[in-house]
Structure 1
Amino acid sequence: MNKSTKPLKYVAFPEICDVCGKKLIRMAAEADSETNQLLHHCPHRSTVVLMTLDEIEGTKAITKWIIESPCSEERAINLATELAEKMGAEMVVNHTGRLQ
């Protein structure tokens, strides 16, 4: 099967919209890949979080993450941290390349 046509697996996460309380988080992973992408979209807050979980020298790490949102930087970082924990990450490589 061609990599671009492989089905994605979706797993629900209990992240809740601040406005409507709707649960809108999904995790997608390619069937044979160790790279996971977590996507959250809230129509009220226009929040999108995309995270990539990779393994670095035997340690699970978030190596890429993007948050597009009108929410505060603190809220965005807290959301990214919560999602990283749910994905089983042991460390996060932030946009500056430092480990957190």
Structure 2
Amino acid sequence: MTSPKYDFRQFQEELAKLEQKMEKQQVAKPLGKKALAAQRMAMARDEFLALRKRHGLSVADVVAFFPEEEGIAYLQELIAAAQAKPRRTRKV
């Protein structure tokens, strides 16, 4: 069984394609800390909701996964976030 020839030109073409992909990714403006954190949170939320939907889980199922103290703390955080008042703007 013989392997196909892998010549130097083919290697150079593949390397050029990879470099072009890297350049395209680096051209985008880097995100700030808050934007990056928001992006990570959005991705995590989407993944979580997809898992919850796929397995048909309720909030009670998710909370029951954690130890009792952590589950209660998680619910308290959810309630506090829902009731949080927006920041007051500064009056001039």
TM > 0.5? no
Report which structure shows greater RCO (CA 8 Å, sep ≥6): 1
Superposition TM-score, scaled by structure 1 size: 0.26
Superposition TM-score, scaled by structure 2 size: 0.28
Q: Which has the higher strand share?
A: 1
